[in-house]
Amino acid sequence: MIQKDSQVYIIINEQGTIESFNLPATDIFGFKQEEVKGKKVDMLFPNFNTQLLHQEDSSAFETLGVLKDQSITTFQVNCNRLLLLDQLYFVLHVETAKEQKSSFNKMKAELKASLSELMDFKFALDESSIVAITDQKGIITYVNETFCKISKYSSEELIGKSHKIINSGYHSPDFFRNLWRTIGNGKVWKGEIKNRAKDGTYYWVDTTIVPFLNGKGKPYQYLAIRNEITGKKRAEEELQRMMSKLIGIQEEERKKISRELHDGIGQNLYSLLIMINRLRTDSNHQFIEQMETEISNIIDEIRQISWQLRPSILDDLGLIPAIRSFVNKFNEHYGLKTNFTYKLQRRLDSEVETSIYRIVQEAMTNARKYAKTNEISLSIIEGENELDIVIDDHGVGFDPKAKRNGVGLFSMEERARSIEADLQVHSQINEGTTIKVKVPFQ
């Protein structure tokens, strides 16, 4: 391969004897390969010291060279070691001063073009994003003007500090531990962060943190690129408030209708049933028996509707008794088996209890309709900082990527979001569906 290269290469062994002399070298020095092969390299470079090459893997130096016509030229020599079949060789890449200057000018032009392109990228990034660079310990070493503008700190106030200076206190320590664990392992982290400006105002940023790795694959600095999304987050929060308010109004209406059905129509029908029973003692008409049956069925239906709208036991006794009662009725009515385990020793906020009840109700109803299962597992376990709820239907499952037309999952997600809970749905064809809800204690 060396023979076909346009660069000048000379290969010598440990003793300084020339082993190879490529064609471009013959053009420069005027010697043919057979005239120099096996000769000492000092016939070309009188001041060449072979012993110096043993000290480093590679070296570069300037030396005088003698051409065949006895003229003397200054050469730049770059030397690299080559171990081949346990034999050490030195590969000399030789350039004349003119060639070196040409190469230098080319590199200079390429570097200038690269720097110009890099400055264009930097300008575009600074104009569109909030940029900061930190060292491996998280100490800020660079911020752009956009960072200073949104944080209301000067660059002098920020450089040398950590990002704790803009910490809003909104995110948990676990949030930042996960962030540092990710970038510390050399991976890119993406997420949304709420920060606090110098004047006490808050702002949200969509953040990407890119670790820069050294030769050992360890981060030595981090580049953080952020875009402000405060307006978007405010809109989301306002929408969430509206949804919570709507859910609250809906629950109040359900409670009102449930009581009216139970206390009004239900009581009137029950009174009518008593009257029919009295009539039957005086008369044995088949028509009266039919009326009695129909009214009994209507009473049962109204009780069922009333229960589904708003179980009074939820308000009176709390979440666990209400769900236990729902599970018993559910199993009895649909012939399913529900394994219900729980550990909860406290009453929760009314809104939280209602949302959890509705999520469980919706999940079990969906399982009955679509899972083709005979058994459901439900657990509600109290942890140190959160309540963990798991519903597993052991059914046919579904493809999470497929388009869904129903509103059941949407309803559960909105319920969870209204109480700042985390809801996750895991499903696989023929593997069943598992719904996990983590409700933080306020």
Span 40-64, pLDDT tens digits? 999 999 988 777 777 665 577 888 8
Architecture of domain 317-442: 2-Layer Sandwich (3.30)
Question: How much is the mean pLDDT over the chain?
Answer: 83
274 token code pair? 């008593």
208 vs 224: CA distance, rounded Å: 6
Whether 2-103 and 129-228 share one fold: the answer is yes
pLDDT 10s digits, 328-375: 988 988 889 999 999 998 889 888 998 899 899 889 988 988 888 999
Q: Is 3 exposed, middle or buried, given 0-12, 13-18 or 19+ CB atoms closer than 10 A? A: exposed
pLDDT 10s digits, 69-99: 998 888 888 888 888 877 888 899 888 766 5
Q: Are 42 and 16 in contact (CB under 8 A)?
A: yes
Determine which of 25-29, 62-66, 70-74, 240-244 has the lowest per-residue pLDDT on average.
Answer: 240-244
pLDDT at 309: 62
Determine which of 155-169, 197-211, 280-294, 329-343 has the lowest per-residue pLDDT on average.
Answer: 280-294
Q: Is the pLDDT of residue 154 over 90?
A: yes
For the ranges 19-33, 53-67, 239-253, the one whose mean pLDDT is highest: 19-33
Q: Could you give the percent of the chain with pLDDT greater than 90?
A: 37
- Is 0.75 surpassed by the pTM of this model? no
Quickly state the pLDDT bin for 441 (edges 50, 70, 90): confident
Quickly state the pLDDT bin for 2 (edges 50, 70, 90): very low
172-195: burial string, b at 16+ Cβ within 10 Å, e else: eeeeeeebeebbeeeeebeeebbb
pLDDT at 49: 79
187 vs 212: CA distance, rounded Å: 10
Residues 221-245 have a mean pLDDT of: 82
118 token code pair? 């890099």
Q: Is 28 exposed, middle or buried, given 0-12, 13-18 or 19+ CB atoms closer than 10 A? A: middle
Q: Where are the domains of the chain?
A: 2-103, 129-228, 234-310, 317-442
pLDDT at 299: 67
Determine which of 123-132, 237-246, 385-394 has the lowest per-residue pLDDT on average.
Answer: 237-246
pLDDT at 438: 94
φ, ψ of residue 401 in degrees (nearest 5)? -85, -15
pLDDT at 207: 94
Class of domain 129-228: alpha beta
Architecture of domain 2-103: 2-Layer Sandwich (3.30)
Q: Is the pLDDT of residue 3 over 50?
A: no
Determine which of 315-324, 336-345, 404-413 has the lowest per-residue pLDDT on average.
Answer: 404-413
Determine which of 10-24, 40-54, 219-233, 332-346 has the lowest per-residue pLDDT on average.
Answer: 40-54
Q: Are 367 and 391 in contact (CB under 8 A)?
A: yes
Q: How far is CA 201 from CA 171, 233, 309, 431, in A?
A: 16, 14, 43, 48
Residues 32-45 have a mean pLDDT of: 91
Quickly state the pLDDT bin for 420 (edges 50, 70, 90): confident
